[in-house]
Amino acid sequence: MKKWQFWLGVLISILFLWLALRGLHLGDFWGVVTQANYLWILPGIAVYFVGVWVRAWRWHYLLGPIKKIPTAVMFPITTIGYMGNNIYPARAGEVLRAVLLKRREGVSVSASLATIIVERIFDGVVMLAFVFVNLPELAKLTDASGFVGNIQQAALIGTGAFLGALAIFLLAAMFPHRTATTGTWFIERLLPRRFHERVIRLMNKFLGGLESLRSPFNVLMVFFTSVLIWLLETGKYWFVMHAFNFSVSFFALMLMNGIVNLATTIPSAPGYIGTFDAPGIAVLTAYGVEQAVAAGYTLVLHVALWLPITLLGAYYLAREGIRWSDDIRKELGEQAQGPQ
């Protein structure tokens, strides 16, 4: 609460909420929300949890060269991580699941974080693919919404960033010794001597976490599961849409999914408040959906995405008997100070 990054995220969320809700008549919005058929959310939640299971399956492939861990073991840790992302700032849930994996399976935090970063890169590539698949349709929408207007340029910049990062990680995985030698050279020249041993050790563990990318089969499986994950999440968008009085194509929802999830990479308050909602409403209004309906659907969808995984993750975290304030900080301190 005392860190400036937290308050910057809160300010950004407030700005995005203002963009999302300006001009909205609350009476119309309330009417849309109260008249929705919420039974449609149930199959949406079921489809979403299938996607979470596939996330655990993907992580199983990324960690395979380090340690073979069954997907059933990975699933609770994955849900805890996404719960952490929803309630802690700065995506702290990623660190949380890395620490839990170390506690349960002995995999170093550095290696786990390397696989998690690879996950995020593949997620970004797939999200951009969702946007690019719909660029011809998006070109028709740019005059209808000021928020969506520059998404083509943003998509091009984002594509370069994600593909560049993916290329760097693939090269580091294929040439680990050369990467380690180069990294050691920079560490010894840029950091004080007292940090050399610790940072080099962390770098080597991190490179070990990239080992799965040396296998073309693993790379294809990670890409395939990433596409499947986001198609299943779009399926939840589709089911929740049926609770409301509007209809757009599945491709339109793919576009919305891609845009809102790229927007959630912007720092915000925990739970992606505002950064999820404003672009989602903008995309739907650009498709001709009334603002009150678009706002009601997007906010209900946001809650339906946030609440179930947060509750399940909290349940699994309680079973682990671990506390963020004490246990995890202790684990991270040990990670930084000595071999893991």
pLDDT tens string 267-312: 888 889 999 999 899 889 888 899 999 999 999 999 999 999 999 9
Which among 18, 1, 6, 9 is positioned nearest to 265, based on CA atoms? 9
Report the residue count for the chain. 340
How would you label 160-181 residue by residue, b for 16+ Cβ within 10 Å and e otherwise? eebeebbeebbebbeebeebbe
Share the mean pLDDT of the chain. 85
Q: Tell me the two tokens of residue 209.
A: 């976490």
Residue 44 pLDDT: 97
58, 265, 105, 227 alpha-carbon torsion, rounded to 10°: 0
How much is the average pLDDT of 186-207?
Answer: 85
CA-to-CA distance for 322 and 319, rounded, in angstroms? Answer: 8
Instruction: Write down the pTM of the prediction.
Output: 0.84
State the first-to-last Cα distance of the chain, in angstroms, to the nearest integer. Answer: 30
Which among 171, 131, 136 is positioned nearest to 151, based on CA atoms? 131
Q: From the CA atom positions of the chain, what is the Rg in Å?
A: 21
**What domain count does the chain have?**
1
CA-to-CA distance for 216 and 146, rounded, in angstroms? Answer: 42
Contact 116, 94 (CB under 8 A): yes
Which among 132, 85, 84, 78 is positioned nearest to 101, based on CA atoms? 78
Residue 327 pLDDT: 57
Contact 45, 304 (CB under 8 A): yes
Return the higher-pLDDT residue of 33 and 133. 33
Q: Which domain holds residue 159?
A: 4-337
Q: Provide, rounded to the nearest whole percent, the portion of the chain with pLDDT above 90.
A: 38
Helices 41-63/71-87 angle, 10° precision? 110
Residues 6 or more apart in contact with residue 138 via CB below 8 angstroms: 131, 148, 151, 152, 255
Residue 339 pLDDT: 43
How much is the average pLDDT of 9-27?
Answer: 88
